[in-house]
Every structure is written in structure tokens, then in C-alpha cells.
Amino acid sequence: MKKLAAAVLCAALLSACVHQPARNPMATWVPSPNFDERRPVVIVLHYTEQDSAEQSLRTLRTGNSGGPVSSHYLVGDDGAIYQLVADSHRAWHAGGGRWGTITDLNSASIGIEIDNNGREPFTEPQVQALLRLLDDLTARLRIPRTQVIGHSDLAPSRKIDPGALFPWRRLAEAGFGIWPADDAPPAPEGFDGMRALREVGYDTRDPEAVVRAFRLRFRGDAGTALDDEDLRILHALTLPGGAGLLVPATGLD
């Protein structure tokens, strides 16, 4: 019995050691309670462009021809939610890109892969599960509810996911992301669309690519030139205080 107790105590001590933060051996450890975990400020949505959740789980947990990739979550087409990486850890899902002033999206975001091949509508159980997950993440991690973006938003020159079929308006009606109010007025004369795109968060160094990414999200097509409807939408998205949004922002800053 004493040997068993000793073994249990040893295991407990080893477990405690495993979960201790890394310490620099050059310095004397004088712990302060004044800290917080690094926390994400953006949620990035992807589609898997594969044929099943099982296939995507393998891809996200192993190496592949392009190198290892991962995400924090995967949402299956049946509504099942899988977590692959802890929220506080850096998953490899975003790659190079920019959103606003953030240039290392992997370090600042939660990545959610959605089981979809890019050619089919997203299923109702899947959308319902995603909404539940977004509600949990934005509340628990204090991520602003407006800061839900697509992979194509941060990397317009490289990516098109989650694609033209993704229900962004549905998310906005539930309070996630941004969408223009139906009664938003036309943009005023001389309105600068490229400047508005930058205000929203887009990197406009490749104008055609960024307009394509914007239209994929807000118009459901791959146009590469801004028209009057695009300018109306951008004007609505950039009005002070979220006055032009379908659902005014209620998330924490």
C-alpha cells in the first residue's frame, strides 16, 4: 500500500511539473500574479475543400505535401464539433496575410475549419453548430463578435475560402461578423472605396484581389471592380458606431 501511495504521489508531482510554465534558467524565478494568457482577437473561418470530416481530421493532424497544417476546431457537415488544438495555443491555419494591423494571424486568431468541398451549400446542422461555437468562443475568450472573418479576407491574393456559398448574412443576423443594413443609403459622392476597404480591415496592396475577396463575402461573386452597390455596402460597414450594420455590434472590445 505504501508503495502504491508513493507511486501516486510521484505521478502527481510529475504531472504538476509538466504543467509548469517554462522558466529561463538564467534568471531567478520571482512569480508575479499580474499576467494573463495570450488570447486571440480574431476568428478565421475556412472550408476544408475535402470530401469528409474524417479525411480533414487526418490532414489536420499529420503532415501533407504542403507541410503540416492544423486548426483549433473542425465542424462536420452533421454538426459535430472537433477540437484539435487548445484555444491558447498557436494553430497553423492562416498562413501569410493581414487583417487590419495584424500580420501574424496564426498568433492572434482561432481557426475553424468547416467540412465543405467549396461547391456545396453548408448544411443546417453545420451552421447551427458553428453559431454555438462562435457564441462560446466570443464570450469565453472575449473576442469581439464583429471579428469573425474568412480566410480570403486576410489573404485575398491566395485564398477564396470559405467561398461564395458561405452564409455570412446568417451569421450577421445572429450577431457575428458584419453585414450592411438593408436600408443603408447609397454612398455619398466621392466616397473612397479603397480607403473603406482598409477601414474594414482588408490589405489593399493587390486591388483586384481584395475586391474579389470583398465581393465573395458580400456579393457572392468574384468580381474585381467596385460598383455602386459595393460602395453602398462599404459606406454602411464604415459608418461610426456600427450605424449601418444589419445587427449593431454588441461584442466586447
Task: Sort 196 into a burial class: Cβ within 10 Å, 0-12 / 13-18 / 19+.
Answer: buried
To which residue does cell 474568412 refer?
A: 150
100-106, long-range: CB < 8 A, 24+ apart: 100/201, 102/41, 102/42, 105/42, 105/44, 105/154
How far apart are the C-alpha atoms of 236 and 212, rounded to whole Å? 19
How far apart are the C-alpha atoms of 3 and 221, rounded to whole Å? 69
Residues acting as catalytic residues: 113
Q: Give the three cell numbers for residue 211.
A: 475586391
Please check whether residue 194 is in contact with residue 207, taking contact to mean a CB–CB distance below 8 angstroms. yes
